[in-house]
A and B are shown apart, each in its own frame.
Chain A
Amino acid sequence: MKKDNILFFGTILLATFGLVMIYSSSYVWAEFKFNNPYKYVISQGIFFIIGIFVMLIVSKINYNFYKEKSNLILLGCFILLVLVLIPGIGVVRNGSRSWFGLGPFGIQPSELSKIGLVIFVSKYLSRNDREKRVTKNFVLPILGMIILFFGLIMLEPDFGTGMIIVMSLIALIFITGTDVSIFVKLGLVGLLGIVGLIIVAPYRLKRITSFLNPWSDPLGSGFQIIQSLYAIGPGGLLGFGFLNSRQKHFYLPEPQTDFIFSIISEEFGFLGIFIVTTLFLLIFYRCIKISLETEDLFAKYLSFGLSFMLIFQTLLNLMVVVGIVPVTGVTLPFISYGGSSLLVSMTMIGIILNIGKK
């Protein structure tokens, strides 16, 4: 079978558009901070080019290689996640000790863990398929491992990534066809956990409620969402046009990262948003199609897990930006600024492309 060209070029198109939008949204801040308006776009551009090669190479690596090395990969991820917590090795950026500094760039082990965990869990689930009626034997061991990694990531802390990983792996368990009642129970546990977190630190409640009415605390927890709405709202149907965003002029903080979608909607309006979301859905549809068509269970789980991870992150980011869920600090795959995130996303597509060839 041939490589899925729609998926491949769709990804390239989306990432290229992301690159353009990173320039548009970041040049004001880049000029201000580094006296170089191209600072961010050049950095991202380099990762993008590397990403294309990585995607092509990965699409040629037989996915069974990961199945064989899954334990090793998981161990590697675990070690990196522990190391990054150690001051001196891990670097703090934006309040999270989640980076390894490598010159001007950085690598986030939590990003790598996304792939590692999906590989490991896919292998585990496909191998123990016969056990799936017995929840205790089938779900609980893997759940324990997931919680361990989640805990490590929360120590950084990086709630957004932790959330994406947990949700994606639960979705992965869900599609194996296991008993649905376990998810209801998990939901209850999660709810209790949230209530517990709020009781411990009541300020979190404010963080959660502020998204319902951001104007209740316009300079504090509601600030980002208000600035985001100020970008989306005035954009209207067609937007202000490329480069004409106003919110990027020091109103929306770091507009090239989590809230880049606001700038897109400010400059290209509803029409732009419609096209971008359609492109995301198209990519997701192609991935799911591959997942449905493959008859190897590991490949099915792996491709689904990776594509769900990408689309869940996308949904989470968009829902934050438009004010449906509280701010979680998640970037928009392929578009937001962030080298390791882009590399990981493109690697994921590369793996899916390889599965699609079979």
Chain B
Amino acid sequence: MFQSIQNGRIKMVFIIVVLLFFLIVFRVFYIQVIEYEKLNNLASSLWSRNLPVQADRGRILDRNGKVIAGNETTSSLVVIPNQIKNKEEVAKNISEILNADYEEILRHVSKSVSIERIHPEGRNLSYEIAEKINNLGYDGVYLLKETKRYYKYNDVLAHVIGYVGIDNQGLSGLELMYNDYLTGDDGSIKYYSDGKGNKLEMPEIYVSPRSGLDVNLTIDLDLQLVLESELNNAVSKYEAEGAIGIVMNPKTGEILAMSSRPTFEPGNYQNYSVETINRNLAIWKSFEPGSTFKILTLSAAINEGLVNVFDEHFYDSGSIKIAGATLHCWKHQGHGDQTFVQVVENSCNPGFVELGNRLGKEKLFEYIDRLGFGKKTGIDLNGEASGIIFNLDKVGPVEQATTSFGQGVSVTAIQQVAAVGGIVNGGNMYTPYIVSSISEPDTGITIEEFQPKLKSEGVVSKETSELVKYVLESVVANGSGHNAYIEGYRIGGKTGTAQKVGPDGRYMVGNYILSFIGFMPADDPELVIYIAIDGAHGVTQYGGTVSAPIASNVLKSAINLYDIKSDPEGIPKQYEWYETKYFTVPDVINMSKADALKQLAGFTIEYSGNGETVVETSPKAGERIKEGGVVKLMLN
């Protein structure tokens, strides 16, 4: 055809053009579909300005849901320099309200950034100050919700809780360990701005913050408060250098209360020394336990069938010779002839050296290891110490002897609580723990639950456990622990008086750690308590005089809190002449008046009603009242 060459080439060009159009359309498709995500994110961050909305940090709650570490809502000042027209005026007014340096604030509002936080002057503003700034009504000046950690009970449970920094980041204790759970996701107010930083008329997008998760503790705040106040009293009364108190449920390992002195206020942690804020003495401090350690020697000897505590006797002359060295009993004249129950009641050192000898070093140290000494208990807290136990190769007769009454070993308070808990809980030893669950704050839904962890079964036999509990109940009823006795309740325990080792490695004169470890009810313990007072002044240096009464007070509160029923089956207390005696009211119902009077000798009797037969008494039979107390009889 005419001009066919030209037309052919025109068609060729046309096809190339069409192909190029396809290329372009495909490229647009690629950008809008394949690269959409990437470009959209990049563009979004270009267009939008995020004003952060801080999430609430998760709370730390006690076992009954009481808030120990909560949040306080404050405001934080943020400026968008681009939107501020008169920078000098804004800086002047804000610096006056904040009582801050004008130049400093001017520097903030003039910075060439999209969003500037006035830090630290504009952080954690109170409602009043925030309101004043708000009333200025300046463009580009924003007050954003910020939350601040709030410790309602100040120093209560301080070492366990720890503390947070200015950005609510956990720095120690549970705040640090569970920081990932406690930290929420900050939200934001996102608004769109043009290329010059001005706000665009597009709806703001509010991304609500997600609060951090709550950490629920095994701690009982009420009991904790009692323990705290008892330790405060003791420290001020005895001008003590330090103190430790732990209450644990031996059946589960749950820590119900834990405290130590010196303590600090987490809200003002900067005002305390690093040692004070970072050392949770209840798990960190490793020290010579003294006589509380004898529980281990006793349990081991009974468990191995090496002693009959009721029938065997031991004569204490006041000292015992071991491999040429003379070890003294704390009572210099000696306790004389005693059953082994009395050896424990009297905390007689030579008696325990004898038990140690019967065990031999291998057995003794096997029990030390089995009960968890010399290694961490594994409690869910940071900063736990292992303590120091003699290396078996280095143990000679003297080391074996001192170890059996609690000298020359170094242990932590929590190790003793865990070990005694295992012994009195029928030989089932639980790992102590303090966090029971992690839950969602708004719904209360449990995210993660921590179950009691049985560490070792049968550390001693059930029979041994029963026997040890009985002997230790006897210590409180009749022996050195009598200051822990509570009328009508069964309490077992052991005192300890340990000389402290000075910096030179020698025992310090007149400087002791006075301790008491106890449990209640003695037949089936629900609570194990440990109290240690370090460096008490102006008091007889016995655990029985200083620490046992503190333990008693805490246990009394526990009785009220947990409504523990009194139990008349316990070993009646041996009374000193100066102490008030308590007697059990006998059952006289349906007896004649005369017979009843005989039974009630020693009580003051009051009558009501006419007749010869007793139909009712007040108090009821089985209750214990003071010697000479009033018993009312209803007659018919």
Residues of chain A touching chain B, judged by Cβ–Cβ distance below 8 Å, are 28, 171, 174-177, 229-237, 246-247, 249-251, 265, 269-270, 273-274, 277, 280-281, 284-285, 288, 291-292, 295, 297, 300-301, 304, 308, 311, 315, 318-319, 322-324
Q: Is B111 an interface residue (CB 8 A)?
A: no
CA distance A318 to B29 in the complex (A): 13
Residues of B within 8 A of A301 (CB): 6
Residue of B nearest to A297 (CB): B3
Contact B31 A318 (CB under 8 A): no
Residues of B within 8 A of A265 (CB): 28, 32
24 pairs, CB–CB < 8 Å, chain A vs chain B: A171-B13, A175-B13, A177-B6, A177-B9, A229-B35, A230-B46, A231-B43, A233-B38, A234-B39, A234-B40, A237-B33, A265-B28, A270-B32, A270-B33, A277-B21, A277-B25, A280-B21, A281-B17, A284-B14, A284-B17, A285-B14, A292-B7, A301-B6, A319-B24
Contact B28 A270 (CB under 8 A): yes
User: Nearest Cβ distance between residue A227 and chain B, in whole angstroms?
Assistant: 9
User: Nearest Cβ distance between residue A121 and chain B, in whole angstroms?
Assistant: 14
- Bitwise, B35-70 to A at CB < 8 A (1) or not (0) is 110111011101100000000000000000000000
Contact B10 A292 (CB under 8 A): yes
Residue of B nearest to A239 (CB): B32
Q: Is B194 an interface residue (CB 8 A)?
A: yes
CA distance A175 to B28 in the complex (A): 30
Residues of A within 8 A of B195 (CB): 249-251
CA distance A174 to B16 in the complex (A): 13
Contact B17 A234 (CB under 8 A): no
User: Nearest Cβ distance between residue B185 and chain A, in whole angstroms?
Assistant: 24
Residues of B within 8 A of A315 (CB): 17, 20-21, 24
Residues of B within 8 A of A269 (CB): 32
Residues of B within 8 A of A176 (CB): 5-6, 9
Q: Is B11 an interface residue (CB 8 A)?
A: yes
Contact A236-B3, Cβ < 8 Å, known A273-B25, A277-B21, A288-B14: no
Residues of A within 8 A of B23 (CB): 319, 324
Residues of A within 8 A of B10 (CB): 175, 288, 291-292, 300, 304
Contact A232 B17 (CB under 8 A): no
CA distance A292 to B33 in the complex (A): 38
Residues of B within 8 A of A295 (CB): 2-3
Q: Is B530 an interface residue (CB 8 A)?
A: no
Q: Is B506 an interface residue (CB 8 A)?
A: no
User: Nearest Cβ distance between residue B190 and chain A, in whole angstroms?
Assistant: 13
Contact A274 B44 (CB under 8 A): no
Partner of A174, one of B13, B32, B43: B13
Q: Is B293 an interface residue (CB 8 A)?
A: no
CA distance A318 to B13 in the complex (A): 18
CA distance A28 to B194 in the complex (A): 10
Residues of B within 8 A of A274 (CB): 25
Contact A234-B24, Cβ < 8 Å, known A28-B194, A288-B14: no
Contact A292 B42 (CB under 8 A): no
Q: Is B27 an interface residue (CB 8 A)?
A: yes
Contact A300 B3 (CB under 8 A): yes
Residues of B within 8 A of A229 (CB): 31, 35, 39
Residues of B within 8 A of A291 (CB): 10
Partner of B200, one of A249, A270, A322: A249
User: Nearest Cβ distance between residue B171 and chain A, in whole angstroms?
Assistant: 39
Q: Is B196 an interface residue (CB 8 A)?
A: yes
User: Nearest Cβ distance between residue B3 and chain A, in whole angstroms?
Assistant: 7
CA distance A322 to B24 in the complex (A): 7
Interface residue SS majority, chain B: helix
Q: Is B594 an interface residue (CB 8 A)?
A: no
Residues of A within 8 A of B38 (CB): 233
CA distance A208 to B9 in the complex (A): 31
Residues of A within 8 A of B46 (CB): 230, 251
Q: Is B97 an interface residue (CB 8 A)?
A: no
CA distance A175 to B12 in the complex (A): 9
Q: Is B192 an interface residue (CB 8 A)?
A: yes
Residues of B within 8 A of A318 (CB): 24
Partner of B9, one of A175, A284, A297: A175
Residues of B within 8 A of A285 (CB): 14
Residue of A nearest to B5 (CB): A177
- Bitwise, B222-264 to A at CB < 8 A (1) or not (0) is 0000000000000000000000000000000000000000000
Residues of chain B touching chain A, judged by Cβ–Cβ distance below 8 Å, are 2-3, 5-11, 13-14, 17-18, 20-21, 23-25, 27-29, 31-33, 35-36, 38-40, 42-44, 46-47, 192, 194-196, 200
Contact A273-B39, Cβ < 8 Å, known A249-B195, A251-B195: no
CA distance A46 to B429 in the complex (A): 94
Other contacts beyond A171-B13, A288-B11: 9, CB < 8 A:
A177-B6, A229-B35, A234-B36, A234-B40, A280-B21, A281-B18, A295-B2, A301-B6, A324-B27
User: Nearest Cβ distance between residue B27 and chain A, in whole angstroms?
Assistant: 5
Contact A233-B13, Cβ < 8 Å, known A249-B200, A292-B7: no
User: Nearest Cβ distance between residue B39 and chain A, in whole angstroms?
Assistant: 3
Contact B44 A234 (CB under 8 A): yes
Contact B194 A277 (CB under 8 A): no
Residues of A within 8 A of B24 (CB): 277, 315, 318-319, 322, 324
Residue of B nearest to A291 (CB): B10
Partner of A233, one of B8, B20, B40, B194: B40
CA distance A308 to B13 in the complex (A): 9
CA distance A251 to B47 in the complex (A): 9
Residue of A nearest to B11 (CB): A292
Residues of A within 8 A of B21 (CB): 277, 280-281, 315
Residues of A within 8 A of B194 (CB): 28, 249-251
CA distance A300 to B11 in the complex (A): 13
CA distance A176 to B32 in the complex (A): 40
User: Nearest Cβ distance between residue B25 and chain A, in whole angstroms?
Assistant: 6
Closest 4 CB pairs of A and B: A233-B39, A250-B195, A249-B194, A177-B5
Residues of A within 8 A of B196 (CB): 250
Contact A233-B32, Cβ < 8 Å, known A249-B194, A251-B194, A251-B195: yes
Residues of B within 8 A of A297 (CB): 3, 6
Residues of B within 8 A of A171 (CB): 13
Residue of B nearest to A317 (CB): B24
Residues of A within 8 A of B39 (CB): 229-230, 232-234
Contact A175-B6, Cβ < 8 Å, known A235-B32, A270-B29: yes
CA distance A301 to B6 in the complex (A): 9
Residues of B within 8 A of A237 (CB): 32-33
Contact B200 A246 (CB under 8 A): yes
Contact A246-B192, Cβ < 8 Å, known A269-B32, A284-B17, A323-B27: yes
Residues of A within 8 A of B33 (CB): 236-237, 270
Contact A233 B36 (CB under 8 A): yes
Residue of A nearest to B14 (CB): A288
Contact A246 B3 (CB under 8 A): no
Residues of B within 8 A of A231 (CB): 43
CA distance A176 to B6 in the complex (A): 5
User: Nearest Cβ distance between residue B37 and chain A, in whole angstroms?
Assistant: 9
Partner of A322, one of B2, B13, B31, B47: B31
CA distance A250 to B35 in the complex (A): 23
Residues of B within 8 A of A250 (CB): 194-196
CA distance A304 to B196 in the complex (A): 46
CA distance A297 to B17 in the complex (A): 22
CA distance A311 to B19 in the complex (A): 13
User: Nearest Cβ distance between residue B583 and chain A, in whole angstroms?
Assistant: 88
User: Nearest Cβ distance between residue A300 and chain B, in whole angstroms?
Assistant: 6
User: Nearest Cβ distance between residue A166 and chain B, in whole angstroms?
Assistant: 15
CA distance A168 to B200 in the complex (A): 44
Contact B27 A322 (CB under 8 A): yes
Residues of A within 8 A of B2 (CB): 295
Contact A236 B6 (CB under 8 A): no
CA distance A177 to B194 in the complex (A): 54
Contact A246 B43 (CB under 8 A): yes
Residues of B within 8 A of A311 (CB): 17
User: Nearest Cβ distance between residue B137 and chain A, in whole angstroms?
Assistant: 25
CA distance A319 to B23 in the complex (A): 9
